[in-house]
A = this chain, B = another copy of it.
Amino acid sequence: MPRKESVTEEMILNTAFEMAKNEGFENVTARKVSAAVGCSTQPIFRVYENMEGLLVAVYEKASQYFLDYFKEYDKSSLIPFGDLGLAYISFAKEEKNLFKLLFVSDFQKKKSMYELLNGNDGNVVREINLARQRNCKDPEGLFMKMWIFIHGAACMSLTGDYDLDNAQTSELLVASYAAFSR
């Protein structure tokens, strides 16, 4: 006897996510989402308790999107942190809005950088172990230095102050690994 739902949680979340991706997280508003879905604001508040609920869901989807992005990424780097770093910088360049949300915003429910990077597959731990296998004496310290560098390049790309392509970035990471790991 109840009316069949025509606006699903999936429709709302996908639309809100695309909006965060294309127009920025701060532009995800109830009215804009509902207009894009093609409904009133009401279905949003049936599915989510309030806007914060939807925004948390968008954030979660964004973090999963990043992990999937990395999983799909070419894994041919010769150095530890090379693939992860190249994917990270490339993600910053290609998905500025999502990168900002995940790694530079002060969104309340944000995970720490390490937690998000590591993911369920232990991306960071794996790379640190790889460095250890290569007789690096302080793999954690190496990770710290490498990641400060990688994060710096990624953040500079957001403001247009970093303009190297993937091949050049790859060389740069190899050079910085060589510099830091002696």
Contact = CB atoms under 8 A, between A and B. Distances in A.
Contacts of A160: 112
Given A104-B158, A179-B182, 7 more contacts: A112-B161, A148-B156, A149-B149, A152-B153, A152-B155, A176-B180, A179-B179
Interface in A131-147: 145, 147
Q: Which 9 A-B pairs have the closest CB atoms?
A: A152-B152, A179-B179, A148-B152, A151-B152, A113-B161, A155-B155, A149-B149, A148-B153, A179-B180
A159 interface: yes
Contact of A155 (B104, B176, B180): B104
Contacts of A147: 152
Nearest to A177: B179
A130 to B, nearest CB: 20
Contact of A176 (B114, B145, B161): B145
Protomer copies? 2
A106 interface: yes
Contacts of A103: 159
Q: In this complex, which of A112, A150, A176, A182 has the most chain B Cβ atoms within 10 angstroms of its Cβ?
A: A176
Contacts of A162: 148
A147 B149 CA distance: 9
Nearest to A156: B151
A164 to B, nearest CB: 9
